[in-house]
Amino acid sequence: MTQANLKLVSSVRCFEGEQRRYEHVSETLNCTMQFSVYLPPQALRKDRVAAVLWLSGLTCTDENFSSKAGAQRVAAQLGLALIIPDTSPRGEEVADDDAYDFGKGAGFYVNATEEPWARHYQMYDYITKELLDVVTDALPLNGRMSISGHSMGGHGALVMALREDARFASVSAFAPIAHPSECPWGHKAFGGYLGSDRELWREYDAVELIRSGKKCPPLLVDQGGADNFLAEQLNFSTLQDTVEKYHLVAQLRLQEGYDHSYYFIASFIEDHLNFHKTYLKG
């Protein structure tokens, strides 16, 4: 991937840095993709900076986090770039579904094996290989990176950190779908994208990956106690039990009164970016 394939769509000044949006043709997803980037003021001075890769949740694009989380102020203070990809392939030729939790906006960060999804829905490889190569080549990054995400994106962040542990210095999540093999969202997504082979499902399930012995970078998870998806979809208590059993370096916090929204994320994003900065200093 070369910079010739990368188009700057927009750029606005933000806390002495720049909030940018890029477009490129993805060879992995077989479509045109957009992603957002926040570059702190240090990067505009040509200093190479560490980055946090953010994965968004169901129905989101690359713009939800950048417009709602309030992360840029803290990222500017800490000298961190924010890399914010979309949640699925896009375009008229891309297969879709009428439901909000499957198809466009709901790629679940897996490499689909089932038709008609397999041609475009290769989100795991897109994020961990193609996109990271693109931003490393095009932006003033120093090679140090952490990963974070929300809900479906929290699931993606945990899975990528566990499977690509040498790449990420730390991992955090807000209300992640922690055990998708055992919840309705996961059954639907994995059954549709991956078929009936539950062994393949386990490769994209954080709880199952921890149980299989995968190493995990230092971990921070925040879960809202008033989250309406907590009981049925998120399996927070299962993640707590698994983290404790396998002695991970982790903080799992139940935040009473908070829901599943970006108000919750905005309330604790400063904690998460400071957490990542601790491990990105090396």
For 188, counting Cβ atoms within 10 Å of its Cβ (0-12 exposed, 13-18 middle, 19+ buried), the class is: middle
Q: Which pLDDT belongs to residue 61?
A: 98
Cα 47 from Cα 58, distance rounded (Å):
34
Residues forming the active site = 151, 227, 260
Q: Which pLDDT belongs to residue 282?
A: 63
Cα 248 from Cα 242, distance rounded (Å):
9
Token digits of residue 145: 């990176």
Beta-carbon contacts of residue 91 (< 8 Å; ≥ 6 apart):
31, 32
User: Model-level pTM?
Assistant: 0.97
Q: Which pLDDT belongs to residue 35?
A: 98
List the Cα angle 49/149/63 in 5-degree steps. Answer: 80
Q: Which pLDDT belongs to residue 3?
A: 54
CB of 157 closer than 8 Å to CB of 149: yes
CB of 198 closer than 8 Å to CB of 181: yes
Q: Which pLDDT belongs to residue 4?
A: 56
Q: Which pLDDT belongs to residue 218?
A: 98
The CATH number of 3-280 is 3.40.50.1820
Domain extent listing, the chain: 3-280
Which residue positions in the chain have pLDDT lower than 70?
1-4, 282
